[in-house]
Structure 1
Amino acid sequence: MVKRIIYQMLPRYFGNVNGNCRPSGSLDENGCGKFSDITPAILERLRDELKITDIWYTGVLDHATTVSFPGKPSSSVAVVKGRAGSPYAVRDYFDIAPYLADNPEQRFEEFKELVKRTHEAGLKAIIDFVPNHVAREYASSYAAKERNLGADDDPSLGENDLNDFIYLPGEHLHLPECVPGYDDYHEYPAKVTGNNCYSAYPSVNDWYDTVKLNYGSRHTGTWDKMAEIISFWAAAGIDGFRCDMVEMVPVAFFAWLIPKVKTEAGRDISFIAEVYGMSRYKEYSDAGFDLLYDKSGLYDTLRGICTSVMPASGITRNWQMLGELQPKMLNFLENHDEQRIASGFFCGDARKSYAALYVSLMFNDAAFMIYSGQEYGERGMDEEGFSGRDGRSTIYDFWSVGSLRRALTGQSTGEENAVYEKYVSLLASLAASKALSHGKTFDLCYANYGNPGFDPGRHFAFLKYCPGELKLVAANFSGLDTEMAIRIPAHAFEYFSIPETPGLNSKTPVCIKTGAWDGAISDLI
C-alpha cells in the first residue's frame, strides 16, 4: 500500500519566474504562474522523485481580486486583501480565477486540461472547499439548480434558517479605516463577517473581506447550495476537497454531505478537514472525513521541540492521545497558514528540521503533506505586500517564490539542492519499505528514560515492523552529532511476535549515529 503524500501548490506563484517583483506590485508588474506552467514533466518529477500521490491546487476558484477581466470586473478594493486577493474570499464557487489562465476566457477549459494532465501522471487533484464563508461581493453567473447564495434572503430577519447569510438589521458596515477605499464601500444591512465577527465594525485582524454563511439549526437551503458546489467539481474530475475551517460549520452538515457526494460520484472522493481542536478529531472522523489536519497535535509538538521549548518525549504524549485515529491524520511541517521552517521565525535553516521530518513522515501511518518550496528550504522572508515579512509565502499578492523560481530555471543554490536531495532520499526510503510506510509502530522513548546513551529531551526513537522487516528510526533534535545507544524492551519483541537473538535482544542496546538536527534509519531485520 502506497503512503499518501500530498503536495500543496499555489499555482499563482508556482510557475512565476519573475525575479524582479515589486512589493504590492500589480499583475502586469509582477506576473503570476499559470496552469500551463504545471507541465507533464513537472507532474512526473513530483510523482517520481517526491513520491507525490495527490496535488492540492490551492487558490484556483474565482476569488475577490483587484484585477478585472472581460465579464469579470475587479472587486471593490476595500474588500480585497492585497493586490491578488485571498483565495479564501471566493466570489464565484462555479468559476476559476481568470489570471491563472493563458486565455482568461478559456479558464475553465485550461483548468480541466490541468486536471487531465494530473490524472495522466497517475496523480489525484484536490481543490479547496471553503464552507464557512464567501467574499463580501459573492455572485455567480452559473445557472445552478439552486438559487445564488443570498438571492432569496430577507435581511430584516437577521439570523434565520431561511437566510444563507447572517445580517445585522439596521446597521451599516464600517470597514477598518486603514483599509484602502473603506469609506466608498457600502453594505446595508451589514452581514456577519466570516470569522464569526458579529459586529458591524470588523477590525483589520478580522476576515473583513468575507461574510459568514448561515447553516441554521437544521437542514436548510444553504446545505443544498453547498452540496451542489461540491457535486459540480466532482463531476469536473476533482478527486478531493480540502475543507477550510470545518469547526465553524455544523458537523451534521458534513455527516450529510460526505456520504451523499461519494455515493453520487460513484468513485473515491476524499475529504480533508482543517480542524484544530484535538478533542473534536473523532467527531469529524465519524462525520466521514478521510484525513484530519494534525496541526494542534504533531505539528505543534514538533515545532516546540525544534525551537527547544518542548522535550522530544512530547511526541509520545501526542501519539498516545491520537490512538486509533493515527491513520486519519494528515501530518505536515509546512502549509500556507504556517511559517516556513527555514524562516527567521521558526528554525532559520531547513536542515534543522530533518529530525522532525523523520518523525512526521515515518512515525505513524498518517498521510504527509509538503508545501511547495519546502522541499528546497524556502525561507519565506520576502516582504511581498499585504502581510509584510512574516515568514510565510504570501497568499495575497502577485509574487515569485525564490527557491521555486531557481529550481524551475536550473539555478538552485547548493543548500537548496542539498535540502531537495534529503527529501528525495527519505521519500525513496519510505516508498521502498512497507515497514516504514505502513508498518506497526513501537515507541522506544519510554524504555530509555534514565539511559545515559539516550536523551529523551532531545532524542526520539521508534521501531517500524512488518513481517520480514524491522527498522529502527532515530531522530536527533540536538545541535550535536551523536551516537545513541537505544534499549529495545522485551515488550517490543512480544508486540511484533519476533524472537530475541544474540545479535538483537532486550539486554544489548542498539547503537545508531545521527548528525545534528538529523535522523537515521537502521535495518534490524
Structure 2
Amino acid sequence: MKTNRILIFLLWIATLYSCKQQSNQKPSPVPMKKKEVVYQVFTRLFGNTNTTNKPWGTIEENGVGKFSDFSDRALAEIKDLGITHIWYTGVPHHAVIRDYTEYGISNDDPDVVKGRAGSPYAVKDYYNVNPDLATDPAKRLEEFKDLIQRTHKAGLKVIIDIVPNHVARNYEGLTNPEGVVDFGATDDTSKEYDVNNNFYYIPGEAFKVPEWQDGYLPLGGDLNRLVDSKFKEDPAKWTGNGSRLAQPHFNDWYETVKINYGVRPDGTKDFAELPEEYRQKDYREHHKFWEQKTLPDSWQKFKDITQYWLDFGVDGFRFDMAEMVPVEFWSYLNSNIKMKNPDAFLLAEVYNPNLYRDYIHKGKMDYLYDKVELYDSIKHIMKGYGWTDHIPVIQKGMEDIEHHMLHFLENHDEQRIASPDFAGNAQLGKPAMVVSATISTSPTMIYFGQEVGEPGAEDAGFGKPTRTSIFDYIGVPNHQRWVNNKKYDGGQLSDEEKSLRQFYKRLLNFTITSEALMGDYQEIHFYNKDNTEGYDHRVLSYVRWSDNEKLIILSNFDEHKAYDFNFKVPPEVIASWGLENGEYSLTEELNRKMVTKMVVKNGGGEIQLELDPLESYIFKVSD
C-alpha cells in the first residue's frame, strides 16, 4: 500500500508538470495594498438561536436568522476577526416552502424545491430578497438596504450571489424596475432554441418531476397539497445542469432551468468571438468592444440585474458555476460592472484549471476558487495521505495568476474541517489555514463557524451531514455558542473553541496588515528536504518579503510528531534580502510566544527550531 501511494504521488507530480498550461505572461504586478479576507456567511443561519434541529423542520420549529441579526455588535466582531468583505449568501429571493401569499408571493412547489427552506441557487426573483430574512417581509428590500448600510458603517464591504447559469423553474419577478421583463416572458416556446429566448425548450413534451430515489420524498414525506408530482411546465425546459430530458434525473439540478446565452444546442455561438489580443486589454477596452455588438437578450438581463444591485449599495458579486456560461458573456458583464465601480469585487466559481486564464484574462474576473489545485491538495495532507511536496509545485504552476486564485478551506459546498468525513478535528485546520492565508497575494475566505470548529453534523433534511445545510431551516451549534443569544461574545464557547477563534483572529489580522504577503514568494521546502536533517513531507516552509518586511513561514501538518531541527534559509534568499553574515532577531508574529535568532554564515541562514504538532511559525526578520 505504501508503494502504491508513492507511485500515485510521483504520477501526480508528473501530471502537474506535464499538464500545466504554459502562459507567456509574466506574473501580473500586484498593487501594494493589503490582503483581503472574505467572510462567507449563510445569511438565514447566522442569527438563528433555535437549537431544536428537527429534520425537515419548519421555520416555526427550527427557527431562522434575519437581516437584523447582523447588529452593529455582530458586525464589529466580524470586522475584528480580521475580515474585509462579507459574502451574504442566499440573499436574492429564491424558491422556499412557506406561504407568503399575503405579500403577493406565489407558493413554490415542493416537487421542484430542494429542502424546505430552498436552495439559494434557485433564484425566483432577482430584484428582491428572500422574505425569510426579513422581520417584516413587506419591507424586505428596505431591511436589506439597512444591512448594507450597517455593514459599510462597520468598515466592511458587501458581496452577494449572482447565478447566471440557471434560475428557479417558477421564476416570477414582483418588483421589477420599469421596463424589465421576466426571464422567459417573451420566449418563443415552439422552438428548442432562439438566440433571444432566455431558456431552451423541449417542444411537444411536458415537464415531469424526477423519480425519487434512496427513500427521498419532498419535505421528508410531510403532507402538502403541492407534493403531487404534477408541477406544470409545458413545454419542458432544459434543466440547470444542461439535462435535455423532460423528466430530469433525481441527481440533476431539477429545481432549476438553464439560461440561454446564445449558444446553440450544437455548441456553436450566436455572438461575436472575443479576439485573443483582448487577453491583454483592460476592462475599458472590453467595454468598448461590446458597445456596438448585437447581443442575446439574456446578456442584457443579467447586466441590468448587476447594475441594479450596484446602485443598491452592493460592492461585489460571487458568480455561481461561472464556467457553464460563455467567457465572452463575462467579458461583457464584468466590464460593465467595472465601468460603474472599478473596485467591485468579482469572484467566480470555476473548477477547470484549463479555463482559469480564460476567465481571468478574457472574462475579466478578479478572483477564482483555487479548489482543484490548492484546496484539494491541502485536504489530502490534512487527511493524512497527501505530501506537502505538492504545494510548491502548485504555486509554481500558478505563478502568473496566483493573485487571482482565492484560497479557502471551507465554504457552503465543501465538508466542514471538523466533520469525520474530512479531518474530524478542527485543530488539523490550523497549519492548513496558515498556508492558505499566507502563501500567496490572493484573498482568503473563511466560512462562518469555521473559526469555532463547526462540524456540520446536523441531519437537516435534504442532503447529508458533513456540510452545514443550505436547503433547510437548521441551527449551527458551535456558531450558536459564539452568538450566545445574540450577544456575539462567544460566551458559550468551550475553551478549545475560544482558543481556535483567537488563532483565526491573530492570523487573519496579521494577513491584512502585512506588506510582505503582497510581495515576493519563494519556496524553501525542497532546499530543507535536501539539507536539513529531520525535515520531511509533513512540514512546509517558504519565505515572503517586501522592501520593509521579511517573513519565514513554517507549518507542521503532523498532529502527533514534533520536529527539532537546524532549519536552513537558502543563500539566494539571504542574498535577495541583502543580509550579511551575523545574527538576526526573529519575532514570531502568529503566536507571539517567542523571539529567536537566525545565524547567517557562509551566505546561508540557520535557525535552531522546535516545531510542535500542528504548530506554525511566522517569523519576521529584524535587520
Query: Shorter-normalised TM-score: what interval?
Result: over 0.9
Counterpart of 1:412 in structure 2 is 493
Q: State the 1:2 CA deviation.
A: 2.5
- Secondary structure at the counterpart of residue 329 of structure 2: helix
Indicate which of 106, 121, 130 corresponds to 2:154. Answer: 121
Counterpart of 2:423 in structure 1 is 347
Q: State the 1:73 CA deviation.
A: 2.6
Overall identity of the aligned pairs, in %:
38
Indicate which of 219, 228, 236 corresponds to 2:312. Answer: 236
Q: State the 1:507 CA deviation.
A: 4.2
- Secondary structure at the counterpart of residue 167 of structure 2: strand
Q: State the 1:124 CA deviation.
A: 0.4
Counterpart of 1:146 in structure 2 is 180
Q: Is the aligned partner of 1:26 residue 2:102?
A: no
- Secondary structure at the counterpart of residue 183 of structure 2: coil
Q: Is the aligned partner of 1:204 residue 2:300?
A: no
Q: Is the aligned partner of 1:9 residue 2:45?
A: no
Indicate which of 592, 614, 620 corresponds to 1:517. Answer: 614
The CA distance in 1 between the partners of 2:508 and 2:534, in whole Å, is: 26
Q: State the 1:314 CA deviation.
A: 0.4
Counterpart of 2:477 in structure 1 is 402
Indicate which of 306, 309, 314 corresponds to 2:385. Answer: 309
Letter in 2 for 1:352: L
Counterpart of 2:14 in structure 1 is none
Counterpart of 1:248 in structure 2 is 324
Q: State the 1:497 CA deviation.
A: 4.3
Letter in 1 for 2:207: L
| CA deviation profile, 1:145-173 (whole Å, cap 9, x unmatched) | 23211011112210221211011112222
Kept after mapping to 1: 8 A contact 2:515/2:548: no
TM-score when normalising by structure 2: 0.81
- Secondary structure at the counterpart of residue 420 of structure 1: helix
Change (3 A) 1:143 1:434: closer
- Secondary structure at the counterpart of residue 522 of structure 1: strand
Kept after mapping to 2: 8 A contact 1:311/1:457: yes
Counterpart of 1:504 in structure 2 is 600
Counterpart of 1:156 in structure 2 is 190
Q: State the 1:144 CA deviation.
A: 4.4
1:183-222 pair list within 5 angstroms: 183-216=229-262, 217=269, 218=271, 219-222=295-298
The CA distance in 2 between the partners of 1:326 and 1:485, in whole Å, is: 31
Kept after mapping to 2: 8 A contact 1:125/1:240: yes
The CA distance in 1 between the partners of 2:464 and 2:193, in whole Å, is: 36
Q: Is the aligned partner of 1:39 residue 2:71?
A: yes
- The alignment of Structure 1 onto Structure 2 pairs a total of residues equal to 521
Q: Is the aligned partner of 1:55 residue 2:86?
A: yes
Change (3 A) 1:21 1:450: same
Q: Is the aligned partner of 1:434 residue 2:480?
A: no
The CA distance in 1 between the partners of 2:534 and 2:546, in whole Å, is: 25
Q: State the 1:379 CA deviation.
A: 0.5
Kept after mapping to 1: 8 A contact 2:521/2:542: yes
Kept after mapping to 1: 8 A contact 2:37/2:512: no
Q: State the 1:501 CA deviation.
A: 3.8
The CA distance in 1 between the partners of 2:546 and 2:581, in whole Å, is: 16
The CA distance in 1 between the partners of 2:477 and 2:379, in whole Å, is: 24
Kept after mapping to 1: 8 A contact 2:383/2:422: yes
Q: Post-superposition, which runs of at least 4 consecutive aligned residues in structure 1 deviate over 6 A? A: none
| CA deviation profile, 1:176-218 (whole Å, cap 9, x unmatched) | 2225335221222111110111222212211110000000122
Q: Is the aligned partner of 1:376 residue 2:452?
A: yes
Kept after mapping to 2: 8 A contact 1:474/1:521: yes
Kept after mapping to 1: 8 A contact 2:574/2:604: no
Indicate which of 447, 450, 454 corresponds to 2:527. Answer: 447
Counterpart of 2:398 in structure 1 is 322
Counterpart of 2:347 in structure 1 is 272
Letter in 1 for 2:618: I
Letter in 1 for 2:202: L
Letter in 2 for 1:211: V
Q: State the 1:511 CA deviation.
A: 2.7
Q: Is the aligned partner of 1:331 residue 2:407?
A: yes
The CA distance in 2 between the partners of 1:431 and 1:483, in whole Å, is: 31
Q: State the 1:80 CA deviation.
A: 0.7
The CA distance in 2 between the partners of 1:449 and 1:266, in whole Å, is: 47
Counterpart of 1:165 in structure 2 is 199
The CA distance in 1 between the partners of 2:506 and 2:341, in whole Å, is: 37
Kept after mapping to 1: 8 A contact 2:168/2:255: yes
Q: State the 1:91 CA deviation.
A: 0.4
The CA distance in 2 between the partners of 1:152 and 1:383, in whole Å, is: 42
| CA deviation profile, 1:53-73 (whole Å, cap 9, x unmatched) | 100000011001101212113
Letter in 2 for 1:158: E
The CA distance in 1 between the partners of 2:576 and 2:436, in whole Å, is: 23
The CA distance in 1 between the partners of 2:565 and 2:239, in whole Å, is: 53
Letter in 1 for 2:94: H
Which segments of 5 or more consecutive residues in structure 2 lack a partner in the other structure? Answer: 1-32, 219-226, 263-268, 272-294, 485-490, 584-598
Letter in 1 for 2:441: D
Which segments of 5 or more consecutive residues in structure 1 lack a partner in the other structure? Answer: none
Change (3 A) 1:487 1:268: same
Change (3 A) 1:500 1:134: farther
Counterpart of 2:537 in structure 1 is 457
| CA deviation profile, 1:376-420 (whole Å, cap 9, x unmatched) | 01000111111132x100000011100111111121112211110
Q: State the 1:508 CA deviation.
A: 4.9
The CA distance in 1 between the partners of 2:228 and 2:503, in whole Å, is: 48
The CA distance in 2 between the partners of 1:281 and 1:267, in whole Å, is: 21
The CA distance in 2 between the partners of 1:507 and 1:99, in whole Å, is: 61
Letter in 1 for 2:144: F
- Secondary structure at the counterpart of residue 46 of structure 1: helix
- For the pair shown, the structure with the greater C-alpha radius of gyration is 2
The CA distance in 2 between the partners of 1:485 and 1:475, in whole Å, is: 15
The CA distance in 2 between the partners of 1:220 and 1:146, in whole Å, is: 15
| CA deviation profile, 1:24-67 (whole Å, cap 9, x unmatched) | 1001111100000001111111112x111100000011001101
| CA deviation profile, 1:311-369 (whole Å, cap 9, x unmatched) | 10100111011112111121001000000001111111110111111100111111000
